[in-house]
Amino acid sequence: MLQTLHIGHLAHQFKLAALLLLLALFLGSCGAGKNISKGDKRFEQEQYERAIQYYTKGLENAANPGEVNYKIAEAYRLSNRLSEAEPYYKAALDANYRKEDGFFYYGLALKANGKYDKARGQFQDYMKFGSNPELKARAAREIENFSTIQSILDKAPRYEIQNLEALNTEGSEFAPYVLNNDLVFSSTRGADKVYMGNGEGFIDIFATPLADSVATIGGNVRKYENINLEGMHDALPTFTDEGRTMVFARSNEGTKKGRQNVDMFISFFRSGAWSEPKPLSINDPRAWDSSPAFSPDGKTLYFSSDRKGGLGGNDIYKSTIDDNGRFSAPENLGPSINTPGNESFVSVGPDGTLYIASDGLPGLGNLDLFRIENGKPVNMGQPINSPGDDFGIFLQNENKGFFSSNREGGKGGDDLYYLSKSARKLVNFFVDGTLYQLREGAKQRAAVPSHEVTLQDEAGNALRSTKTGENGQFTFALDTASTYFLIAEKPGFFTARQRISTVDKMPKQEDLTEEENEVRLTATLVLNEIVKEKAIVLENIFYDYDKADIRPDAAVELDKLVQVLNDNPGISIELSSHTDARGSDAYNQDLSQRRAESAVEYIISKGIDRSRISAKGYGESRLVVKNATTEEEHQRNRRTEFKVVRIQE
């Protein structure tokens, strides 16, 4: 009876524990569901920061963590914090949440964090199964753009940069403009009201005096009076008429539609104050119109817009201004500048050169800065561009200016940076090569057009590839003080390989004649036809007298044969050793066999499969110089050769 009561008591306890566990799980899931529901509501209202907060709370007990992680990632992406979205896209995919767009945007997030190889693989995977035509086109463009990343990285930096640490805050500072002796900029600092799109304050326009030292810029920061409105974004000012006319961007009223759109406003400085801003006539009420920039003469206004009829997301437009201050109908700058991606944050240098930020042109991150040269965008390279967003440049002259970036290592969301042209003259290295092939019995080699040549680093990693021109010519940009290999392959031919190095090739600064200089190296690659049973002499394979040990100098030459076997995995060879005619036939036969076997064992020790190579000693049976009398002639007979005996198709 006591035992029965005890067992019954335990059973009751177990049931009670199970009920409590189920209740906890139920309450936890209810709590998670409530937070996720709130997050969905905030997400729909484009309050992405608040949505992230609710999603994060609900994630711990969520029944569908993959979907919640995806929603967090999307909230970061849509609030222009793509780099922060990466771990959440990954978590969603790892949890087997297979929303198709996530594969593409995960690739963008990887790129925003400088993980180019992984990003390329992600876009390639998306191309295999993606069904969204727009995203597939963007993925194809991203894959194509990756081929230029290394050339951007290899280019010698033209500028030096410095974070404005005394000015930047934990918020965002961006869009610099120098007016008289003031640095005018946009910032979320000190806002009384938080913008729930990204968790920072609403944007206002500020100014601070320039200082003799860049390190001290940031004192006496003041707001632009009569311009900034509470609960609105006011940003990106541009000026003309000696600073008496300002055009800037302002968000519309706080309706859902208003949060999605931005318009440009104009104000005039009269009687010591700015007039009430009025919207420009060229705004499109259905579009996002922003990032205005006057030309130096004030007769043209450039801006960015996603209005209907463009080439992609945001395009660059221009409008001319007549003597009465009337703006002409906006004109799209066309496909030489605009892409299916986004072009924005336009500015104009003192010489009239146009600068833009773009995520559709080949670059290092999401937004990169470009200078328009001869009507074409040219990436401004490092250190101005980074894996982060780099945008909003303003050049005071050709030697100095400011720009904005959210790159790693900054103080806040977006930071302002000072840029100055490097005092050192620049040197860019290139290799110009020609690819040939040589068939057995041909009198001369022939150029190989439209054939792939690959540039590898010293460790053998492929950096990039190119196709030869009609005369077999090719070019690669190179880095300084680096060693590379040029590789070309073709069925039926030995792989062509040549080492090229820029080490110790940097000219002295005093010998350079231009601000930007080129050093061009030359290379010749030859594809030699593979002919079975044709003996190929390995030069400089020497042995000590009466010995078969591999000397260090012989090892260097045998390493070259190891490379040939690695470059041509489909061939098997016979390695043969030969002696001169001095000594008995039997002795020379034994010595040559031992030497051949010693060489083969050395090659196998370097990782070559034993089945691909055999040793054969021929003694003095195959003299090259019969009746040799001089030491030089004897040396020609004491040779090591190899020949291809099998070719795997």
207-243: per-residue pLDDT in tens? 999 988 888 999 899 998 788 888 888 999 999 999 9
Position 467 pLDDT exceeds 50:
yes
Q: What percent of the chain has pLDDT over 70?
A: 92
Q: Which homologous superfamily is 24-153 in?
A: Tetratricopeptide repeat domain (1.25.40.10)
Q: What is the pLDDT of residue 638?
A: 81
> Do the beta carbons of residue 361 and residue 339 sit within 8 Å?
yes
Q: In the CATH scheme, what is the code of domain 426-528?
A: 2.60.40.10
Q: What is the pLDDT of residue 198?
A: 65
Peptide bond into 383 cis (omega under 30): yes
Task: List helix spans (H) across 210-339.
Answer: 256-260
Where does the pLDDT of residue 62 fall: very low under 50, low under 70, confident under 90, or very high at 90 and above? confident
For domain 536-647, which CATH number applies: 3.40.1280.10, 3.40.50.970, 3.30.460.10, 3.30.1330.60?
3.30.1330.60
For residue range 515-560, what is the model confidence (pLDDT) as tens digits? Answer: 888 999 999 999 999 999 998 888 878 776 677 888 888 899 899 9
CB neighbour list of residue 64: distance below 8 Å, 6 or more residues apart: 97
Where does the pLDDT of residue 365 fall: very low under 50, low under 70, confident under 90, or very high at 90 and above? confident
Task: List helix spans (H) across 155-269.
Answer: 256-260
Q: What is the pLDDT of residue 627?
A: 87
User: Which of 248, 171, 167 is CA-nearest to residue 205?
Assistant: 248
Q: Which residues pair with 161 in a beta bridge?
A: 419
CA 463 – CA 487 distance, rounded (Å): 11
Position 189 pLDDT exceeds 80:
yes
Q: Do domains 24-153 and 536-647 have the same CATH topology?
A: no
- Between 192 and 464, residue with greater pLDDT: 464
Position 16 pLDDT exceeds 50:
no
Position 20 pLDDT exceeds 60:
no
The model's pTM is 0.67
For residue range 88-145, what is the model confidence (pLDDT) as tens digits? Answer: 999 999 999 988 899 999 999 999 998 988 999 999 999 988 889 989 988 998 898 8
Q: Please report the DSSP string for 482-503 in residue order.
A: -EEEEEE--TTBPPEEEEEE-T
Domain 179-381 has CATH 1.10.10.10: no
> Do the beta carbons of residue 266 and residue 234 sit within 8 Å?
no
Q: Which residue ranges make up each domain of the chain?
A: 24-153, 179-381, 426-528, 536-647
The one-letter amino acid code at 608 reads I
Position 79 pLDDT exceeds 90:
no
Position 463 pLDDT exceeds 70:
yes
> Do the beta carbons of residue 486 and residue 453 sit within 8 Å?
yes
Query: At which residue do the structure tokens 């930071």 appear?
Result: 415
Q: Which of 25-39, 140-154, 585-599 has the lowest mean pLDDT?
A: 25-39
The token pair that represents 480 in the structure block: 């300084």
